[in-house]
Amino acid sequence: MFSISDNFIHIILSTSAVYIFILVLLRLLGKTELAQLSVTDLIFVLLISNAVQNAMLGPDTSLAGGLLAASVLFVLNFIFKRLKYQFTWFGKIMEGEPIILFYKGKINEANCKKNSISHNDIMQTLREHGKISLDEVEIIVLEVDGNISVVSKT
């Protein structure tokens, strides 16, 4: 039988493993997954959280177990944010770098394809920024947070 300390160690290790696993998967899925959260994406996130709950807590469904798991998530998030800001290379690994989608009159097809951004997505972004044509734009960048920035020529 598990003692309380053994169970808490299990919760700490399991929660850490789940956090890192989901972080890696979100990083591999691409930037657009987070910034352009659709209804199906929201449902997906909610279901993922429900699916991994048992993996983090195991048989311990107590208040203390839930609070411990939440605390571990907060601490891990704090540590990863500190590492990201303290070490540039770590931030690049965790978030990547901005990606140029359009520059000097040309769409970078390779970057668009790699990030699953269609011409329609680019045109929608232009309209959201009050532009009608690519002729009005100097550069379009996919930012590390998944948003698309548009810089006008004027």
DSSP string, the chain: ---HHHHHHHHHHHHHHHHHHHHHHHHHH-THHHHT--HHHHHHHHHHHHHHHHHHHTT--SHHHHHHHHHHHHHHHHHHHHHHHH-HHHHHHHH---EEEEETTEE-HHHHHHTT--HHHHHHHHHHTT---GGGEEEEEE-TTS-EEEEE--
Listed by start position, the domains of the chain span 4-95, 99-152
- What does the pLDDT average to over 31-58? 70
* 37 vs 103, higher pLDDT: 103
* pTM of this prediction exceeds 0.85: no
pLDDT category, 106, cuts 50, 70, 90?
very high
53-67, 83-97, 108-122, 139-153: least confident range: 53-67
pLDDT for 1 equals 47
Selection from 77, 89, 62 nearest residue 19 by Cα? 77
What's the pLDDT tens digit per position in 59-83? 877 778 888 888 898 899 899 889 9
CATH of domain 99-152: 3.30.240.20
- pLDDT surpasses 70 at 31: no
* 27 vs 35, higher pLDDT: 27
What's the pLDDT tens digit per position in 15-26? 898 888 888 877
Looking at mean pLDDT, say which of 14-28, 83-97, 129-143 comes out highest: 129-143
